[in-house]
């Protein structure tokens, strides 16, 4: 996927200005998710669960080589073909080879973020494969040719009205159709897709090293169908997704569901140990797992950012974030948005390509409170900001401006001088591009208007 | 490629301390009656339905009534013949009712556990899914269920905790999106006649 994160300031301002319904839809949905998450955390000893999950993930990450070997051995023992991809190109080569070798014409996809990261849909389309996203939200954004706006609810930015109009144009459903009617129209089309597909593509929420189990969480049943109906199943799995023991699933399944949607467990959980056995009547003939690095091992080597690899992609931090809520995920310019995107993306694709993201936060700390694996997101936002300064990635004027600001704020004479100078500026001087520093600001906002009198003067006059 | 990735991981972890793996977190177990009550409350809360049947004979009688509103059924091969409904047998692609035999259930989450050995399509394609659950396999917690299953894992286990649902269209909850829109769990207290 092309990284457009450096356009975040302009793009976020544009979304707020030109697409006000996005803010409305995203705010409504995320506040709802967040309230459910809080209630579900309150039902259990969530502090104990979060510490446990953090400790298990830390243990796995610090022994990752061992657990990758163990998982690969267990998977192969149950008949899974295991592949390794160090980057997106390598993953694409593996998928393309499978498609050619097995004569794949039709593929169904279970919602997976790593597939977005690796650019699997454009690859398959280029190979002439008919690709169908089967998660209802993913299907909707596939029709619109958009990337996901949220990790769990990919179409969270769209209003019911917009979806009604889309389905009316594509499937002839009435413009006032109930959501049930719309879902039924999609179900009919997608059901056919499941039964005709040669290949089902999924990610994995976890892979259990001990038993070689692929674990997938969902609510619709499309993942169970994608991994059950086609003759081939391919799972794309980040190397950080491992859990040591089968029993670890008891906390991780429930904690992830609580964090993501406030459920005690996803409506459907698949525990997959390999292809159909000789005594079984259905299921895929072949299961392929691709372990993907694509920047993860260099994040692991990073003394601070490695903690982002604990992430279980529940999106609880997106739902808790007052900044994400304003724009949804598209403005962030990369597959992972919101607070976790702001600290994970610089590690995966380079800080120089994601400079504005660590600044897309008020540092309120809500993301850390929500995170089921206690990733210190606010601390890491500051880490990336410090590094941006150290690496000279911040604008040249910033240092001078901060120095000037420090002087004005610590010396009364300088403060008085500066505020007087601002007040003496001609009308509308800050309304256009005369001061280049303010250009980005005024592009998305009304111009700045200095008060004609200082607060001190107003105070002396009795306000 | 595997070696290259593993050596990158190895280099990344040089001189890094290894934290210990904590013991699994356990929750208190429950009596049979408590587990049944909790399972019923939780699965119903998730939008599923629960009935409790005394034994196979009682289950047979209940099934005769339940099956009347369906025109046919796909029945998993793990279901004992006494619990085959008096309905035409249909493939899962066409059947309005799918009938499964659970390999376990979890009270704390309101979940039935389904094995790929009985056929996955029966569990997924029909709009109504009836699952028989012998009460002796009802576990209080997910941890207990996982520990009991670990020794003999089929190619796939499905954990179903309610009807298929989605809120992807304008945040309105819709049922029966891809999987069954109706899930009925029938607990059988004793596996005798």
> For residue A18, what are its two tokens?
């030109």
Going by the DSSP 8-state scheme, the letter that residue A191 receives in this structure is H
Go through the domains of chain B in sequence order and give each one's CATH number.
Answer: 36-165+174-188 (3.40.50.10420)
First and final C-alpha spacing in chain B: 59
Nearest chain B residue to A90 by CA: give it.
B1
Q: What is the band of A431 on the pLDDT scale with cuts at 50, 70, 90?
A: low
Which of A63, A279, A282, A303 is best to mutate for the B interface (most B CBs within 10 A)? A282
Question: What does DSSP say about strands B128-134 and B156-160: parallel, antiparallel, or unpaired?
Answer: unpaired
SS3 B31: coil
Residue A146's pLDDT band (boundaries 50, 70, 90)?
A: very high
User: Mutate which of A137, A171, A269, A284 to test chain B, going by most B C-beta atoms within 10 A?
Assistant: A269
* Biggest alpha carbon–alpha carbon distance for chain A: 91
Choose the mutation target among B118, B176, B177 for the interface with A, i.e. most A CBs under 10 Å: B177
Using a CB-CB distance cutoff of 8 angstroms, which residues of chain A are in contact with residue B11? 301
Neighboring chain B residues of A28 at a CB cutoff of 8 Å: 171
Q: Please tell me if residue B110 touches chain A, with a CB cutoff of 8 Å.
A: yes
User: Is pLDDT of B193 > 90?
Assistant: no
Q: Interhelix angle for A377-390 vs A338-349, to 10°?
A: 40
Spatial distance between the Cα atoms of B138 and B31, rounded to a whole number of angstroms: 10
Q: Flag whether the ipTM exceeds 0.95.
A: yes
CB < 8 Å to B19, chain A: 55, 58-59, 62
Contact list in B for residue A291 (CB cut-off 8 A) is: 2, 5
**Which candidate from A179, A221, A245 shows the least CB-CB separation from B164?**
A221
Residue A15: pLDDT above 90?
yes
Smallest CA-to-CA distance from A356 within A332, A338, A330 is with A332
Q: Which DSSP string do the residues of A367-404 spell out, in sequence order? A: HHHH-TT---HHHHHHHHHHHHHHTT-S-HHHHHHHHH
Q: Which residue in chain A has the smallest CA separation from B16?
A: A62
Supply the pLDDT for residue B189: 97
- Top pLDDT among B89 and A461 is at B89
When pLDDT is cut at 50, 70 and 90, the band that residue A395 belongs to is: confident
* pLDDT tens-digit readout, A90-137: 999 999 999 999 999 999 999 899 999 999 999 999 999 999 999 999
Q: What is the DSSP letter of A284?
A: -
pLDDT above 70 (res A436): no
pLDDT score, position A72: 98
pLDDT at position A424, please?
A: 82
Q: How far apart are CA B166 and CA B171, in angstroms?
A: 8
In this prediction, residue A440 carries a pLDDT of 64
Please state the separation of Cα A445 from the chain's center in Å.
27
Q: Does this model's pTM top 0.80? A: yes
B115 beta partners? B157
Question: Residue A434: its pLDDT value, please?
Answer: 60
Instruction: Give the chain B residue nearest A286 (alpha carbons).
Output: B155
> How many helices, marked H, and strands, marked E, lie in chain B?
5, 11
Place A3 in a pLDDT band, splitting at 50, 70 and 90. Answer: very high
What would you measure as the largest C-alpha separation in chain B, in angstroms?
68
Q: Does residue A128 contact residue A106 with C-beta atoms inside 8 Å?
A: no
Just give the CATH number of A28-297.
3.40.50.10420
Which of B18, B25, B158 is opposite residue A268, by nearest beta carbon? B158
Please tell me the predicted confidence (pLDDT) of residue A18. Answer: 94
Q: Average pLDDT, whole number, for chain A?
A: 94
Let me know: does B1 contact A90? Beta carbons within 8 Å: yes
Q: What is the pLDDT of residue A401?
A: 86
8 A C-beta contact, residue B10 and residue A65: yes
Mutate to test the interface with B, among A28, A152, A228 (most CBs of B within 10 A): A228
* Three-state SS at B113: strand
pLDDT at A426 over 80: no
Nearest chain A residue (CA) to B143: A250
Which residues are within 8 A (CB) of A219 and not within 5 positions of it... i.e. 6 or more apart? A261, A263, A266, A267, A268, B164, B165, B166
How far apart are the CA of A246 and the nearest CA of chain B, in angstroms? 7
List pLDDT tens digits, range A277-306: 999 999 999 999 999 999 999 999 999 999
Determine whether the interchain pair A32/B171 forms a contact, defined as Cβ–Cβ distance below 8 Å: yes
The partner residue sitting opposite B165, judged by closest CB among A84, A155, A267, is A267
Around B44, how many Cα atoms within 13 Å sit in the side-chain half-sphere? 10
Owner of token pair 């659970």: B102
**Does A293 sit within 8 Å of B164, measured CB to CB?**
no
Is residue B16 predicted with pLDDT exceeding 90?
A: yes
Distance CA A112, CA A114 (A): 6
Q: How far apart are CA A271 and CA A263, in angstroms?
A: 18
Torsion, CA B120, CA B125, CA B129, CA B134, rounded to 10: 0
With a cut of 70, say whether residue A441 has pLDDT above it: no
Query: Does the beta carbon of B16 lie under 8 angstroms from any beta carbon of chain A?
Result: yes
Give the gap in angstroms from C-alpha A179 to the nearest C-alpha of chain B. 6
CB contact under 8 A, A239 and B77: no
The upper half-sphere exposure of residue B151, i.e. CA atoms within 13 Å in the direction of its Cβ, equals: 3
The three-state (H, E, C) secondary structure of A106-165, written as one string: EEEECCCHHHHHHCHHHHHHHCCCEEEECCHHHHHHHHCCCCCCCCCCCCCCCCHHHHHH
pLDDT at A55 over 60: yes
Tokens found for residue A20: 């006000």
Other beta carbons less than 10 A from residue A184's beta carbon: 15
Q: B89 and chain A: CB distance < 8 Å anywhere?
A: no
Contact between residue A308 and residue A340 where contact means Cβ atoms under 8 Å apart: yes
Q: Which tokens belong to B44?
A: 């119903």
Model pLDDT, residue A446: 72
Integer Cα distance of B184 and B186 in angstroms: 6
Residue with tokens 């207990």: B144
Please give the C-alpha separations between residue B141 and each of A310, B56, B106, B134, in angstroms, as whole numbers: 25, 26, 6, 16
- Is residue B169 over pLDDT 70? yes
B-chain residues near A246 (CB < 8 A): 146-147, 150
A369 three-class SS: helix
Closest CA to A325 of A337, A313, A334: A337
Mean of the per-residue pLDDT values of chain B: 96
- Enumerate the residues of chain B whose CB falls inside 8 A of the CB of residue A80: none
Q: Tell me the nearest-neighbour CA distance from B59 into chain A, angstroms.
A: 26
| Preferred mutation among A267, A278, A298 to probe B, highest tally of B CBs within 10 A | A267
Q: Do B18 and A62 touch (CB under 8 A)?
A: yes
CA dihedral in degrees (B115, B120, B122, B128; nearest 10)?
80
**B178 contact A CB<8A:** yes
Verify whether the Cβ–Cβ distance B153 to A187 is below 8 Å.
Answer: no
| Contact across the interface for A277 and B12, Cβ inside 8 Å | no
Q: Please report the residues numbered 116 through 175 in chain B whose beta carbons come closer than 8 angstroms to any beta carbon of chain A.
A: 116-117, 119-121, 123-124, 141-143, 146-147, 150, 153-172, 174-175
DSSP B116: G
What's residue B192's pLDDT?
A: 79
| Inter-chain CB pairs, A–B, below 8 Å | 248
Whether A432 shows a pLDDT value over 70: the answer reads no
pLDDT of residue A454: 83
CB contact under 8 A, A265 and B161: yes
B126 vs chain A: nearest CA distance in angstroms?
11
pLDDT at A444 over 70: no
| Predicted confidence (pLDDT) per residue in B24-81, tens digit | 999 899 999 999 999 999 999 999 999 999 999 999 999 999 999 999 999 999 999 9
CA distance A26 to A327: 7
Q: What's the CA gap between A420 and A402, in Å, rounded?
A: 19
**Residue extents of the structural domains in chain A:** 28-297, 425-461
State how far Cα A67 lies from the chain centre: 25
Nearest to B135 by CA among B44, B34, B65: B34
DSSP states of A251-283 as a string? HHHHHHHHHHHS-SS-SEEEEE-SSPPTT-SSS
- Measured in degrees and rounded to the nearest 5, phi and psi for residue A100 equal -70, -45
pLDDT the model gives residue B187: 98
Distance from CA of A187 to the nearest CA of B (A): 6
pLDDT > 80? residue A437: no
**Residue A269 CA: distances (Å) to CA of A56, A71, A177:** 21, 19, 31
Per the DSSP assignment, residues forming a β-bridge with A109 are A133, A201
**Whether residue A419 has pLDDT greater than 90:** no
Mean pLDDT of the B160-184 span: 94
């Amino acid at each position: 996927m092309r990284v457009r994160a450096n356009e975040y300031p302009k793009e976020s301002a544009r979304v707020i200005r030109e697409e006000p319904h996005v803010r409305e839809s995203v705010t409504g949905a995320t506040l709802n998710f967040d309230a459910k998450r809080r209630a579900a955390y309150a039902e259990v000893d969530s502090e104990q669960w979060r510490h446990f999950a953090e400790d298990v993930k830390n243990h796995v990450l610090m022994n990752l080589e061992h657990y990758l070997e163990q998982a690969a051995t267990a998977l192969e023992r149950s008949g899974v073909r295991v592949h390794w991809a160090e980057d997106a190109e390598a993953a694409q080569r593996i998928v393309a080879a499978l498609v050619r070798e097995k004569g794949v014409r039709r593929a169904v996809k279970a919602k997976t973020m790593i597939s977005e990261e690796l650019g699997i849909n454009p690859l398959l389309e280029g190979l002439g494969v008919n690709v169908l996203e089967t998660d209802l939200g993913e299907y909707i954004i596939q029709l619109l040719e958009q990337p996901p706006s949220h990790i769990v609810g990919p179409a969270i930015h769209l209003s019911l009205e917009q979806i009604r109009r889309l389905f009316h144009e594509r499937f002839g459903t009435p413009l006032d159709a109930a959501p049930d009617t719309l879902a039924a129209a999609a179900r009919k089309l997608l059901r056919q897709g499941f039964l005709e597909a040669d290949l089902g593509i999924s990610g994995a929420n976890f892979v259990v090293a001990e038993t070689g189990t692929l674990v997938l969480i969902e609510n619709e049943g499309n993942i169970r169908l994608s991994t059950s109906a086609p003759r081939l199943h391919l799972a794309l799995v980040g190397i950080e997704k491992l859990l040591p023991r089968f029993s670890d699933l008891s906390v991780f399944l429930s904690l992830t569901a609580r964090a993501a949607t406030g459920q005690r467990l996803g409506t459907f959980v698949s525990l997959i140990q390999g292809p159909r056995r000789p005594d079984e009547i259905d299921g895929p003939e072949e299961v392929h797992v691709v372990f993907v690095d694509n920047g993860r091992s260099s994040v692991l080597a990073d003394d601070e950012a490695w903690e982002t690899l604990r992430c279980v992609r529940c999106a609880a931090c997106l739902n808790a974030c007052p900044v994400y809520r304003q724009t949804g995920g598209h403005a962030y310019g990369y597959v992972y948005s919101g607070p976790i995107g702001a600290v994970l993306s610089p590690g995966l694709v380079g800080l120089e390509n994601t400079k504005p993201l660590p600044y897309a936060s008020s540092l309120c700390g809500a993301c850390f409170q929500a995170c089921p694996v206690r990733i210190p997101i606010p601390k890491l936002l500051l880490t990336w900001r410090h590094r941006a300064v150290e690496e000279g990635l911040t604008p040249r004027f910033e240092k001078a401006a901060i120095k000037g600001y420090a002087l004005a704020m610590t010396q009364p004479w300088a403060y008085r001088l500066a505020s007087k100078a601002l007040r003496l500026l001609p009308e509308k001087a800050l309304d256009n591009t005369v001061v280049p520093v303010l250009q980005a600001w005024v592009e998305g906002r009304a111009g700045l208007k200095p008060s004609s009198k200082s607060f001190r003067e107003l105070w002396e006059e009795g306000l | 490629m595997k070696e290259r990735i593993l050596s990158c991981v190895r280099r990344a972890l040089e001189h890094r301390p290894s934290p210990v793996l904590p013991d699994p977190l356990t929750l208190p177990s429950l009596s049979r009656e408590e587990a049944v009550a909790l399972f019923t409350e939780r699965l119903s809360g998730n939008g599923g339905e629960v009935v409790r049947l005394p034994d196979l004979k009682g289950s047979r009688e209940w099934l005769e009534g339940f099956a009347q509103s369906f025109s046919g059924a796909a029945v998993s091969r793990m279901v004992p013949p006494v619990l085959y409904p008096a309905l035409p047998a249909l493939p899962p692609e066409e059947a309005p009712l799918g009938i499964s035999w659970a390999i376990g259930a979890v009270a704390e989450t309101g979940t039935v556990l389904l094995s790929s050995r009985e056929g996955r399509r029966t569990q997924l394609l029909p709009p109504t899914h009836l699952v028989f659950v012998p009460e002796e396999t009802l576990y209080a917690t997910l941890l207990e269920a996982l520990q009991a299953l670990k020794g003999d894992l089929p190619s796939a286990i499905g954990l179903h905790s309610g009807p298929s649902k989605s809120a992807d269209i304008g945040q309105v909850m819709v049922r029966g999106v891809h999987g069954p829109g109706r899930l009925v769990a029938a607990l059988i207290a004793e596996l005798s006649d």
